[in-house]
Amino acid sequence: MDILTLNCGSSSVKYQLYHWDSREVLANGIVERVTIGGSFISHYAKGKGRVKREHECPTHKEAVQLITETLLDPEIGALKDLTEIKAVGHRVVHGGEKFAKSIIINEEALNTFKELSDLAPLHNPPNIMGIVAAGKVLPDIPHCAVMDTAWHQTMPECAYIYGLPYEWYEKYRVRRYGFHGTSFLYVAKRTAVLLGKDPFETNLVLLHIGNGVSANAVKNGISIDTSMGLTPLEGLIMGTRAGDHDAAIGYYIIKKEGLTPEEVEKILNKKSGVLGISGKYTDRRDVLEAAEKGDKRSRLSIEVESYRLKKYIGAYHAAAGRIDAVTFTAGVGEMSPVIRAKAIEGLESLGIIIDPEKNKLSHTHNAETDITGKGSRVKVFVIPTDEELVMTEDTYALLKGNYDSHTNFTYSFQSRDYENKERAEALKEEIKKNPQLKKIVASIP
C-alpha cells in the first residue's frame, strides 16, 4: 500500500511516497517556484537517483499533476498506476481549537481551514490550495489533514490565554495555539526512546530551529507550552519573522514611516528576524560565514538568536519543573553546532552541559546524536525530524479506522528497533568519510 504526503507552501509543494508494507520511502521531492514562474521539480526515486526537470506550474493544481506524472514516469518514477496510492496526507498549519488530532478531510473541515486563514496567512491558503488541487487529481481516495496545532491542544489555560480582554478569546478565539506540532510529536517520542523511558514519564525542552523556529515544553509526554502564538509570528527569532517584541512598535512605526498596518505586518513576517538584523541573510550558513569574516550585524544576529533560545530553555525548564533532555531538531538545529553551543552556554547551573567536541561532530540529517557533556544532569540530543512519517502513519491509521490522538496511539518510531532505512544507508556513507561520527550516534538503553 502506497501513501502520498503533500506539504504545500505558498510557492512550493513537498511530497513523499511511502510504501507501507516494506516501511520505506519510494520517492520524494519538491516542486519549487509554483505560481511565480520558472517552476521546476527536484525528484528522487529509490534506485533511480535524483533528477531536476523544469515545468511551469501557474497554480498548485499543475504542481500536483506534475508530481503524479513524475511518479508515473517509467524512467524516473516509482508507480505503475495512480491506483497504487490509497490515501493522501496533507499538512495543515492551523487547525484552531476544533482539531486536537488528524482527520479525514470533508467539506466542513475544509471550510474551517478557510476560516482560520487569517491566523496563518502565509500557510493555510496554500495548504488549502494543495488539498483542493490534489482532490481534483486524485478524487477517489481519502485525503487526510495533519494539523501543526493539534499537538499543542493539551496546553493548560494559563499557558494559552493572553493578558488581553477575555471577550476577544470568547468572540474570536484569540489565544496561543503553537505550531511545528508534527515535528515536536516525532521528536518527543524519539527522545523518550533514547532516554529509555515511557514517553508519558518524560519532561523535555524541544527546539525546532529552521527558517521557522519554535520551542516546546513537554511535561509527562504532552505539550504544556510553546513559543509561537495565535500565529507563527510570536516567539523566537526566525529567518524572516520578528518573534517576541513590544506590540506598540508596530503602531510607532506606522506613525513614523507612514506605513499601513498591512505593510507593517508584512515587514514583521517577511523582513525581520535574522534577515532584519543581518540586513542580508536568512540562511544561517551565510550568516555564520559572514560573521567569521567580520560582519558585525551577522555576528549580532547569531548572538540575538542564540540568546533568545537560551532564555526559552530556562523558562521551559521552570515550566516543566525538571527536564530529562533538551533536543534540537530541523535544519539549523540539526546542522549548526555554533548556534547549539551558544544556546546551551551558561546553563550549567540548570544541569545542562554539552560536550564541545561532540557538538562540533554533530552535523548530519541522518543520525540521532548525543552531545551531552560530562557532569550534565540533563541529556542533550540532536534528532533529525520526520514530519512526513507522522503524516503517513496518521493517514494510514485513519484509513484503517484505528487512529487516535497521540496519548492513545503508538507510532512505529516509538519502537526500540525502529530504523529509517534511507537515513541508515546514508549514514553508512557518511561514517566512511568521517569515522568519528560513529562516536556520537545516540545509543538506545
Q: Does residue 351 lie within any of the structural domains? A: yes
Are 201 and 109 contained in the same domain? no
pLDDT digits (tens, 9 = 90+) for 143-154: 999 999 999 999
Q: Decide: pTM greater than 0.75.
A: yes
Q: Does residue 248 lie within any of the structural domains? A: yes
Are 120 and 240 contained in the same domain? no
pLDDT confidence of residue 440: 96
Q: Is the pLDDT of residue 339 over 90?
A: yes
CATH number of the domain enclosing 17: 3.30.420.40
pLDDT digits (tens, 9 = 90+) for 301-328: 999 999 999 999 999 999 999 999 999 9
3-state SS string over the chain? Answer: CEEEEEEECCCEEEEEEEECCCCEEEEEEEEECCCCCCCEEEEEECCCEEEEEECCCCCHHHHHHHHHHHHHCCCCCCCCCHHHEEEEEEEECCCCCCCCCCEECCHHHHHHHHHCCCCCCCCHHHHHHHHHHHHHHCCCCCEEEEECCHHHHHCCHHHHCCCCCHHHHHHHCCCCCCCCHHHHHHHHHHHHHHHCCCHHHCCEEEEEECCCEEEEEEECCEEEEECCCCCCCCCCCCCCCCCCCCCHHHHHHHHHHCCCHHHHHHHHHHCCHHHHHHCCCCCHHHHHHHHHCCCHHHHHHHHHHHHHHHHHHHHHHHHHCCCCEEEEEHHHHHHCHHHHHHHHCCCHHHCCCECHHHHHHCCCCCCCEECECCCCCCEEEECCCCHHHHHHHHHHHHHHCCCCCHHHCCCHHHCCCCCCHHHHHHHHHHHHHCHHHHHHECCCC
Q: Does residue 162 lie within any of the structural domains? A: no
Q: Is the pLDDT of residue 60 over 80?
A: yes
Enclosing domain of residue 92: 2-147
Are 234 and 340 contained in the same domain? yes
Are 127 and 209 contained in the same domain? no
pLDDT digits (tens, 9 = 90+) for 7-38: 887 778 899 999 999 999 999 999 988 888 89
The least confident of 110-119, 152-161, 335-344 is 110-119
In 3D space, the residue among 79, 149, 91 whose CA is nearest the CA of residue 392 turns out to be: 91
The residues annotated as belonging to the active site are: 148
Q: In the chain, what percentage of residues exceed pLDDT 90?
A: 80
Q: Does residue 58 lie within any of the structural domains? A: yes
Are 208 and 327 contained in the same domain? yes
Are 221 and 142 contained in the same domain? no
Q: Does residue 184 lie within any of the structural domains? A: no
Q: Using the 3D structure, point to which of 324, 347, 382 is the last residue of a domain.
A: 382
Q: Please state, rounded to an integer, the average pLDDT across all residues of the chain.
A: 94
pLDDT digits (tens, 9 = 90+) for 125-166: 888 888 998 898 889 999 999 999 999 999 999 999 999 999
Q: Does residue 105 lie within any of the structural domains? A: yes
pLDDT confidence of residue 433: 93
Are 141 and 213 contained in the same domain? no
Q: Is the pLDDT of residue 298 over 80?
A: yes
Domain count, the chain: 2
Q: Is the pLDDT of residue 411 over 90?
A: yes
Q: Using the 3D structure, point to which of 112, 130, 147 is the last residue of a domain.
A: 147
Q: Using the 3D structure, point to which of 356, 382, 408 is the last residue of a domain.
A: 382
Are 101 and 210 contained in the same domain? no
Q: Does residue 292 lie within any of the structural domains? A: yes
Q: Does residue 122 lie within any of the structural domains? A: yes
Are 358 and 235 contained in the same domain? yes
